[in-house]
């Protein structure tokens, strides 16, 4: 790896290694019916939409229903990130999706924290968790998830998010949820403008979001782009995922470089390493090749990511100092 990197937008259930999928599937007696394991958890070339993309989460959802499975999955992922050379990552997941076998949200979260801490042992990686409410979840569940995040803030959890099929429920419906998060000083990012329109991004910023997940639709509006620049809202962009979900029709039309040149703090991320069959270095190579980013540009985007990290200020300053003092092959 040429540079120490940061992944702010990474879903646990979309990033299970094939070895973990194989092991957990065997434990529950899952029958792949002749299908290749990778094909069952990775999106193919025929993906037509975000809804189609989200089907790849069906099997991980079945596998991650015990404390042991959740701990193993997060430990494996965190070790994988460290092995890739990452220095910081925020791993997001929705505890309410892992309750099918009777686990409480607290036990689920503690199992994931245990795995994350084990995975970081002996490495240079620092990581934190983002707890996701769901667009297609109940208001009660979403409120409980944010309450849980508040209880564990600084104890493994660094913030919250809302994920799921954008547009299924109007963004305005979630304003009270995020206003309460702001009142409780819970840092939050919001999936917005991935496959929806720029109005979702504008609303998310008005609710107090300091970061936006994806945000592709901002390219539709100069005023939206100006807002993001003025308010220094960091965009967590995931190029390969955006191409697969058809959020962007082609690599040539992806707005990442336009946003960067506009002065918006943009970052590149993986979204789902297994579903999208990607790693951070693959994303970096792609945007260098097709968008003309230089090594210095990639360094700047990684610094944007660290500046926007939700981790505590003291820890953040240490990571940024390490980043700034590192030698680059520019």
Domain range summary for the chain, segments of one domain joined by +: 5-311
194 is a catalytic site residue = yes
CATH architecture of 5-311: Alpha-Beta Barrel (3.20)
Which segments of the chain have a pLDDT < 50?
1, 329-330
- Give the C-alpha separation, 41 to 54, whole Å: 10
For strand 126-134 and strand 234-237, is the pairing parallel, antiparallel, or unpaired? unpaired
Task: Note the pLDDT tens digit of each residue in 40-80.
Answer: 999 987 888 888 888 899 999 999 999 999 999 999 999 99
> Which pLDDT score, from 0 to 100, does residue 47 have?
86
pLDDT of residue 328: 52
Edge-first strand order for the sheet with 211-214 is: 189-192, 211-214, 234-237, 266-268
Report the distance separating Cα 268 and Cα 287, nearest Å: 9
Helix (H) or strand (E) holding 198: helix 198-206
Catalytic residue among 5, 194, 236, 283: 194
């Amino acid at each position: 790896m040429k540079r120490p990197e940061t992944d702010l937008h990474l879903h646990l259930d979309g990033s299970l290694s094939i070895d973990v999928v194989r092991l957990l599937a065997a434990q529950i007696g899952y029958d792949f019916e002749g299908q290749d394991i990778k094909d069952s958890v990775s999106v193919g070339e025929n993906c037509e939409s975000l809804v189609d993309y989200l089907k790849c989460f069906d099997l991980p959802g079945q596998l991650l229903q015990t404390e042991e499975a959740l701990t193993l999955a997060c430990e494996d992922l965190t070790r994988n990130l460290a092995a890739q050379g990452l220095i910081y990552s925020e791993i997001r997941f929705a505890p309410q999706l892992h309750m099918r076998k009777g686990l409480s949200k607290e036990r689920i979260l503690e199992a994931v924290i245990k795995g994350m801490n084990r995975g970081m042992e002996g490495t240079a990686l620092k990581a934190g968790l983002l707890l996701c409410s769901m667009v297609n979840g109940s208001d009660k569940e979403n409120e409980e998830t944010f309450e849980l995040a508040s209880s564990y803030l600084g104890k493994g959890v660094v913030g919250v998010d809302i994920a799921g099929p954008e547009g299924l429920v109007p963004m305005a419906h979630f304003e009270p949820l995020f206003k309460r998060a702001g009142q409780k000083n819970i840092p939050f990012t919001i999936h917005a403008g991935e496959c929806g329109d720029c109005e979702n991004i504008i609303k998310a910023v008005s609710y107090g979001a300091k970061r936006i997940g994806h945000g592709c639709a901002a390219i539709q509006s100069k005023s939206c782009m100006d807002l993001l620049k003025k308010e220094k809202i960091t965009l967590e962009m995931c190029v390969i995922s955006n191409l697969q979900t058809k959020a962007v029709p082609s690599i040539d039309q992806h707005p990442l470089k336009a946003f960067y040149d506009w002065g918006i703090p943009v970052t590149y991320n993986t979204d789902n390493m297994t579903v999208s069959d990607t790693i951070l270095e693959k994303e970096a190579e792609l945007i260098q090749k097709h968008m003309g980013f230089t090594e210095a540009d990639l360094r700047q985007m990684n610094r944007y990511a660290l500046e926007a990290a939700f981790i505590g200020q003291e820890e953040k300053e240490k990571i940024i100092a390490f980043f700034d003092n590192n030698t680059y092959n520019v």
